[in-house]
Amino acid sequence: MRFVKGFGRFWWDFIVGDDWRIAAGVVVVLAAGALLVANTSAPDGVVAAVVAVGIVAVAIGSIAASALRARGR
């Protein structure tokens, strides 16, 4: 059990890192992009632009949250 926990913890730290918001945000934005592709006939360029803007918003949110945390210390 300890091995499984340690193994899971290792991969969590490796992929998600110390800010889970980035992984969660990327998943949410890509899921929204997937819905757009699956349910509409939006041109590829529109999907690309919407997803890219969403990802940039995730990056800005994560950097802002980290900066606020760093200042609070």
Binding site for other proteins (CB under 8 A): 14-19, 22-23, 26-27, 30, 33-35, 37-38, 44-45, 47-48, 51-52, 55-56, 58-60, 62-63, 66-67, 70-71
What minimum distance in Å lies between the beta carbon of 24 and other proteins? Answer: 10
Closest approach, Cβ 8 to other proteins, in A, equals: 16
Output the CA torsion sign for 33, 65, 63, 24: negative
Nearer to other proteins, 6 or 48 (CB): 48
Q: Contact, 20 vs 60, CB < 8 A? A: no
The smaller minimum CB distance to other proteins, of residues 8 and 27, is found at 27
Q: Which two tokens stand for residue 28?
A: 């949410």
The CA-atom distances, in angstroms, between 37 and each of 15, 26, 40 are 26, 16, 6
